Amino acid sequence: MARGAHGWVTRAELLRAGVSDEEIRERLRRGSLIREYAGVYRVGHQAPSLEARYLGAVLACGDRALLCGRAAGYLFGAIKGLAPPPEVMAPTERRAKGVRTHRSRTMAHRDATIYRGIPVTTLPRTLVDLAAVLGADELARACHEAGVRHETTPAQVEAVLRRRPKSPGAAKLRAVLSGDVRVTLSKLERRFLALLREADLQLPETNRPAGGRRVDCRWPDHRLTVELDSYTYHRSRHAWEQDRRREREAYARGDEFRRYTYADVFERPAGMLAELRTLLATGPL
């Protein structure tokens, strides 16, 4: 049981499996079960993983509890830095040591999923919750990571916002989704824009929706889309397929399309800038 749950078992699971109260007490005495929360036990290990920490907190908060907020965003890879402490949403009032808890009477089944073996709010719902606690730049980066890593679209996030119109930060999140928050998201993008400024070339719109998904850089008046490819996010077959799809979508909306890599931007930018100068010299279409 523990192997399939990051090393955790609950008292209810043990009883259903035929382990008696006396046997549970004996295992606790021997240390083969380690009590972390009321009725929630680690099975003989003292160093739980991040997933174990998060799942244990969810189990401690009872049925239908979900990891949420910053912890959920970190689990999905949408926010960076040090791992936040567990944060859990449950339909009833819960308290657990070291866990930030929220009561939500309106938890919708459609906002729940399982990720890495942990019950968690869906990524679109997580982004809506994060809008209340993140600044615009950090929220924009979280939305970007959600799109890159999980193909989360602005339409999916907007669907949650329509169900939760009074969510704190909703206006800020909509500004991010529409691209009204101008933010650079990576070292590659920052260097690309710096090169454009140095060459006195027109700056693009960055990370704005086009055709239902975000694109890295676009000059709408010139019908030109540029995607910046870093090896970090473009080395898998899935990423390769997504890149080809973005290219087809750009041509379908009538754009010229160019793809530049880290080497184009950092090692040999002259050819890239010459190409862009030609493409942008034609004037608005």
Query: So what's the pLDDT on residue 67?
Result: 97
Domains of the chain, residue spans: 1-48, 49-178, 187-280
- Could you identify the residue written with the tokens 């608005």? 284
Residues 97-152: tens digit of each pLDDT:
889 999 887 777 899 999 999 999 999 999 999 999 999 889 988 998 898 788 89
Contact 191, 199 (CB under 8 A): no
CATH 3.40.640.10, domain 187-280, yes or no: no
Residue 208 dihedral angles phi and psi, to the nearest 5° = -110, 150
Low pLDDT (below 50) residues in the chain: 234-236
Contact 222, 284 (CB under 8 A): yes
Query: So what's the pLDDT on residue 179?
Result: 72
- Neighbouring C-beta atoms of residue 162, cutoff 10 Å: 8
Q: Is 39 left (phi over 0), alpha (psi -120 to 50) or beta?
A: left
> 138: which strand partners?
none
Query: So what's the pLDDT on residue 121?
Result: 97
**Which stretches of the chain are DSSP H helices?**
11-16, 21-30, 50-60, 69-76, 123-130, 136-150, 154-163, 170-178, 187-198, 237-252, 262, 269-280
Query: So what's the pLDDT on residue 151?
Result: 84
Residue 265 is given by DSSP the state: I
Pairing of strands 213-219, 205-210: antiparallel
224 SS3 class: strand
Q: What is the pTM of this model?
A: 0.71
Query: So what's the pLDDT on residue 144?
Result: 82
